[in-house]
Amino acid sequence: MSRRVSGLLLVCGLVPSTIAVAAEPAQITELQKGMPATVAGLIARIVYCNHWSGEEPYDADRAKQIQNAVSELKCDSLSADEAAALKKYGQEPGVRRAITKAGDVYL
């Protein structure tokens, strides 16, 4: 993740401070190109929620780590946040496609 987007996501509370993000995966960076900042943040949240929801809670500590990440990313509100973003930016080129494609990215 670029420092600019990473910082923006942390400031906006979109990426949990407990999740270390050294560099944004290429799939996310590509989908974020040309997107409004709120959509770029949403794309990252979608991908990271995909990741954490697919993680195995093999012990109590891991289960807590997963639960904290899912909570901090606000994964439970993704559907509503996607709908709001599409309502606001859905007419902009590529926004709907990028959000849809983000749902298919798993880290």
Q: Per the confidence metrics, is the pTM higher than 0.85?
A: no
- Overall average pLDDT of the 59-81 stretch: 97
- Rounded Cα–Cα distance for residues 86 and 53 (Å): 23
- CB 44, CB 32: distance < 8 Å: yes
pLDDT by residue (tens digit) across 5-63? 344 344 345 554 445 444 678 999 999 999 999 999 999 999 999 999 989 999 999 99
Lowest mean pLDDT among 23-32, 75-84, 88-97: 23-32
- Rounded Cα–Cα distance for residues 105 and 42 (Å): 13
pLDDT at 38: 96
Task: Look at residue 2 and tell me whether its pLDDT is greater than 60.
Answer: no
- CB 41, CB 9: distance < 8 Å: yes
